Amino acid sequence: MEALGIRESDLKEQFVKASGKGGQNVNKVATAVVLLHIPTGKQVKCSIYRSQGLNRYKARDLLCLELEKEQRPETFRQKLDAIRKQKAKQKKRSVEKYKQASIENGETED
């Protein structure tokens, strides 16, 4: 947040009830977080986790990503490309590992 020049005083935070999976906890407790960056008007809602604390952290993270995409598109694209490259490498490694395990177990591909 410091690198992008975002201050806590620039944020307006609201807690609302989430929806979806989570059972009674989701229905009764306001765990979702709505974060508004006042200078830019960007708004982010996060209800990924069942706890309010984790959602607060993730909402700030998502807001930083949105603002970085807007302010520094070239840096954002580089980060995105690095993540894609890493995931492709992980997938390739996983496929190779699966093939090796099936060969060792004597299984044949159909």
Distance between CA atoms of residues 10 and 103, nearest Å: 58
Say yes or no to pLDDT of 67 above 70.
yes
| Two structure tokens written together for 101 | 């395990």
| Two structure tokens written together for 90 | 């992980």
Answer left, alpha or beta for residue 19, where phi above 0 means left and psi between -120 and 50 means alpha.
beta
pLDDT, residue 93, reads 93
Q: Are the C-beta atoms of residues 50 and 72 closer than 8 Å to each other?
A: no
Name the nearest CA neighbour of 51 among 35, 31, 33: 31
The residue that leads in pLDDT, 54 or 17, is: 54
pLDDT, residue 35, reads 93
Say yes or no to pLDDT of 68 above 90.
no
Residue 69 one-letter amino acid: K
pLDDT, residue 27, reads 74
Q: Taking the complete model, does pTM exceed 0.85, yes or no?
A: no
Say yes or no to pLDDT of 1 above 90.
no
